Structure 1
Amino acid sequence: MNFSQEIRSNILFLRIAGDLIGEEADGNLMDRVNEAVSHKVLTCAIDIKDLRYINSSGIGVLITILTKFRNKGGEVYLMKPSESVQKLLVIT
């Protein structure tokens, strides 16, 4: 998994590419999310256009991000999911 992040206009923009499996995402990605939330960033936009695969642990990571933002009154948006990822997210 590769990711990049940027904060603009008080929005955390994340771009996740490759395979999102929980073990890979637990460290750096969650550190960036926690840092943004601690600085009162309330919106997160996650570009998953280049996400090839996501397993149940990866879905757990997305749910954790959603929970962190919503607990502070914020929101998370998933942008540009592939058809296969979108189907999996709808089922979940």
Structure 2
Amino acid sequence: MKFSHNIKEGILTITLEGDLIGENSGIDLIELVNAQILDGQRLCLIDISKLRYINSSGIGVLITILTKFRNKGGEICLLEPSENVKKLLIITKLNAIFLIAQTREEAIKLLTQHS
């Protein structure tokens, strides 16, 4: 899996690409999140539109990120999950835990309502 990040309008955006299966990139992703939270970042948008596949370890990475932000009074939003990922979120009932948006504008609105 590859990922990139930027901060725009006070929101950390992380773009994931490929397969999120909890390999080394999951550790790198959590280290990035830890550093951003230490810098005071509280809102995070995770663009998963280019994520092909996610397994239980990958879900664990997303839950870890969510927990870290919420423990600091922050929030995350998942952006544009594929049909397969959306089904997985519904089956695992994680769609009730994560904010999920189909557009960046909707995601920003959801995040700013929680800040």
TM-score normalised to the size of structure 2?
Answer: 0.77
Q: Distance in 1 between matches of 2:88 and 2:24?
A: 20
Identity over aligned pairs, percent: 59
Letter in 2 for 1:20: L
Q: Distance in 2 between matches of 1:40 and 1:91?
A: 33
**How far has the Cα of 1:66 moved from its partner?**
0.1
Over residues 4-43 of structure 1, what are the superposed CA-to-partner deviations in whole Å (9 max), with x where a residue is unaligned?
Answer: 0011222110000100011233332111111111011100
**Runs of 4+ in structure 1 displaced over 3 angstroms?**
none
Q: Distance in 2 between matches of 1:39 and 1:8?
A: 15
- 1:7 match: 7
Count of matched residue pairs:
92
- 1:49 match: 49
Q: Distance in 2 between matches of 1:11 and 1:39?
A: 12
- 1:31 match: 31
Q: Distance in 2 between matches of 1:90 and 1:32?
A: 27
Give unpaired runs (5+ residues) of structure 2: 93-115
Q: Distance in 2 between matches of 1:26 and 1:3?
A: 10
Letter in 2 for 1:35: A
**How far has the Cα of 1:82 moved from its partner?**
0.4
- 1:90 match: 90
TM-score normalised to the size of structure 1?
Answer: 0.95
Letter in 1 for 2:40: K
Cα RMSD over matched residues?
Answer: 0.9
| Alpha carbons 1:44, 1:77 under 8 Å: kept | yes
| Alpha carbons 1:25, 1:61 under 8 Å: kept | no
Does the alignment pair 1:19 with 2:19? yes
